[in-house]
Amino acid sequence: MIGRQQQLLRIDFEDAPTDVVLRDKLTHFNALLPDYDVIVLSDYNKGSLVNVAQMIAAGRAAGKIVMVDPKGDDFSHYAGATVLTPNKSELRRIVGSWSSEEQLTAKAQALREQLRLDALLLTRSEEGMTLYTADEIVHMQAAAREVYDVSGAGDTVIATMAAMLGAGMPMAEAVAIANRAGGIVVGKLGTATVTREELFGA
């Protein structure tokens, strides 16, 4: 629902996928796995990733980068992924609240270690995003000038980061470009895209 060119409310109508559809998805995933270097898994908590643990295990065993946009109250089935990309409310449901940056860092790093992740990327809306790895913590300031519609912003971030990692870019640099992409799309109305020219200049 849009008012004065800004998103006010989103309403979804949907049905859960059937068992047949879920079995077909896993078979299709396994067939496609050898052809790709980076895997992005996200189902918006709609029930389509009931086999996500198997998918992650298969991807990592095949040497793939596996990125997950997590949902729900239990992140344990995402264990072993390369990168997890929760937002603040999603992380808070898992680790509880925090009252300082230091406490947030401790909780984020503890979760990253517990789930055996290479990295945890916390998207923080107007606060930007923070990348937690075993070797570094990198914070990126929010890049948006004015927010019109946040629909698809998380998808843009994880997709851009996946593309950059697939091209061989170091993780911190990939996050910086993904942050820029997220800042661009929230300045557009609707589920928008970002172009190469917008990201890197003409």
Phi and psi at 163, nearest 5°, equal -65, -40
Q: Is the overall model pTM greater than 0.75, yes or no? A: yes
Establish if 179 belongs to a structural domain: yes
Establish if 89 belongs to a structural domain: yes
Q: Is the dihedral of CA 42, 43, 45, 47 positive or negative?
A: negative
Establish if 98 belongs to a structural domain: yes
Q: Has 155 been annotated as catalytic? A: yes
- Round to whole Å and give the CA distance between 15 and 122: 29
Establish if 75 belongs to a structural domain: yes
CATH number at residue 181: 3.40.1190.20
Measured CA angle at 178 (ends 175, 180), to 5 deg: 115
Name the domain count of the chain: 1
Q: Which amino acid is at 71?
A: K
Q: Which residue is catalytic, options 73, 118, 149, 155?
A: 155
Establish if 4 belongs to a structural domain: no
Q: What pLDDT is recorded for position 147?
A: 65
Establish if 6 belongs to a structural domain: no
Task: Give the single-character DSSP code of 24.
Answer: H
What's the domain range around 112? 17-200
Q: What is the mean pLDDT of each run of 10 residues along the chain (202 residues)?
A: 78 77 85 96 79 95 97 93 95 95 97 98 89 95 66 85 96 93 82 86 67
Establish if 119 belongs to a structural domain: yes
- Round to whole Å and give the CA distance between 192 and 49: 25
